[in-house]
Amino acid sequence: MLPNPLRELARFSSLTSLASLPASVVEKARALLLYGVGVGMASVGAPGLTRTVAALRADYGTDGAATCLIDGSRLAPGAAAFANAVLFHARIQDDAHPAGHMGTVILPAALALAETRGCSGAQLLEAIVSGYEVALRIGRDHARDLSERGFRTTPIYGAIGAAAACARLLALDAEHTMNALSLTTHATAGLRQFADAGTDEYPYQAGFAARSGMTSALLAAEGIEGTDSALTGRAGLFRAYGRADKDYASRLVDRLGTHYEIERVTYKPYPGGQFHRGVIRGFAELRERVPRDSVEAAQVHMHPFEADYLGLAYKGPFHTYSQAFFSVPFCAALAWQHGTVTFAGLHRFDDPEILSFVARTHVVSDESRERYKPLLRLTLKNGSTVEWLDTAGEKGYDLSWSAATTMIAALYREFNCPQASCDALIELVQRIDATETLVPLLAAANLAVRGQIEN
């Protein structure tokens, strides 16, 4: 009899330990933690956060043992996980993988539970690896079909990853961990309609997912059971969110424990979608080669899955952040005019220079393009053309420790946080596996929050 994949994932998750992990995987977990917290700190000025905290206080009350990084207050663990997930996802500069943005769900859940349970930094890193590996393996061969049906990968796989991370922090055995993963499938949800409508509720998908994953682990710890066919059954997650004629489980546990999907996770140099990274970099480089007033039209050739993704070809009018960051023409125009894309820039909805370039920029669905490798073509007013090709793809954005520290320094400069605060956070995460509690880490994050509020 073939092994049950959900049970195999649960067994792996329950046995994850720093001693058994390759050094590269442990370093990756540190980089993911640093990057996730840093992006969250750069998002404290996003709209709607104070109202989010007010709603959670109305639901959970004002007493709690977990840190809400939005304002440094204390909330119940589930509320803190929700609030911090919304914060981490607000500017959508999360870590990235073809299966979604797992850190924006897994990290807030793990941080909230680890803080309230007095877990060590080493336990947190184990939980991070456990959560990412479970979520990414479930999503890696399923994500495209799920997405094409209108569902969103990040909250669906992220919730299960959060459950795995929280189960590891609770030291649940394989059977109880399997129950946690199974129970979470009942709460995996999130639609992509917001991208088509141009509305800004996407961060709350991460909040619901983080809270659901934590709750499922706590239920499993109390002995609540689930089915081991939650993924692969006739009405399981794979078929419900995918296609009946595909075997999504064929390599689900292939080389589990020796090959780590977490090592494929990348980062975003700019706020916005992972499909936009090469587009932004390309237009920023082209502006150094071509006079900015010489462009008649611009084409962005992308893999069909990317070009046809909801919101990517949108050309206005622009009224919301999600309309702007999803729009390839808007991101291209920002990069062309300013050499980069920032959170503030993605709110320049009425800038005439940006809108003029948007109108001249066209997304082309091109089957010859590989994913994450766009081809940019400028048609100049004199009739000549200039091209730029992304040859790096995903590999150009590997989230190494070096990349994480560089990005966090840039983000802290963006919101005018003192360099000393940035250095303190980096140092704490670098030695997180030797810390007995998460108090110093959360205090360093709160210091950045206070600095922004005071400024």
145-188 pLDDT per residue, tens? 999 999 999 999 999 999 999 999 999 999 999 999 999 999 99
Cα 57 from Cα 52, distance rounded (Å):
9
Of 412, 425, 402, the residue nearest 455 (C-alpha)? 412
* Mean pLDDT estimate for the chain: 95
Per-residue pLDDT, averaged over 350-376, amounts to 97
Place of tokens 């078929």: 239
Percent of the chain surpassing pLDDT 90: 92
Per-residue pLDDT, averaged over 358-373, amounts to 97
- Residue-level pLDDT at 289: 95
Q: Does 324 have pLDDT greater than 90?
A: yes
Cβ proximity of 162 and 210 under 8 Å: yes
The model carries a pTM of 0.95
* CA distances in angstroms from 184 to 135, 187, 200, 385, listed in the order given: 12, 5, 25, 52
Q: How confident is the model at residue 1 (pLDDT cuts 50, 70, 90)?
A: low
Q: How confident is the model at residue 451 (pLDDT cuts 50, 70, 90)?
A: low
Q: How confident is the model at residue 415 (pLDDT cuts 50, 70, 90)?
A: confident
Q: Does 9 have pLDDT greater than 70?
A: yes
Q: Does 422 have pLDDT greater than 60?
A: yes
Per-residue pLDDT, averaged over 218-244, amounts to 97
Domains of the chain plus CATH, in order, are 5-267+398-454 (1.10.4100.10), 274-393 (3.30.1330.120)
Q: Does 454 have pLDDT greater than 80?
A: no
Close Cβ partners of 31 (under 8 Å, ≥ 6 residues apart): 399, 400, 401, 403, 404
- Residue-level pLDDT at 62: 84
Strands 361-365 and 295-302: parallel
Of 114, 39, 48, the residue nearest 77 (C-alpha)? 114
Q: How confident is the model at residue 32 (pLDDT cuts 50, 70, 90)?
A: very high
Of 94, 231, 98, 75, the residue nearest 164 (C-alpha)? 231
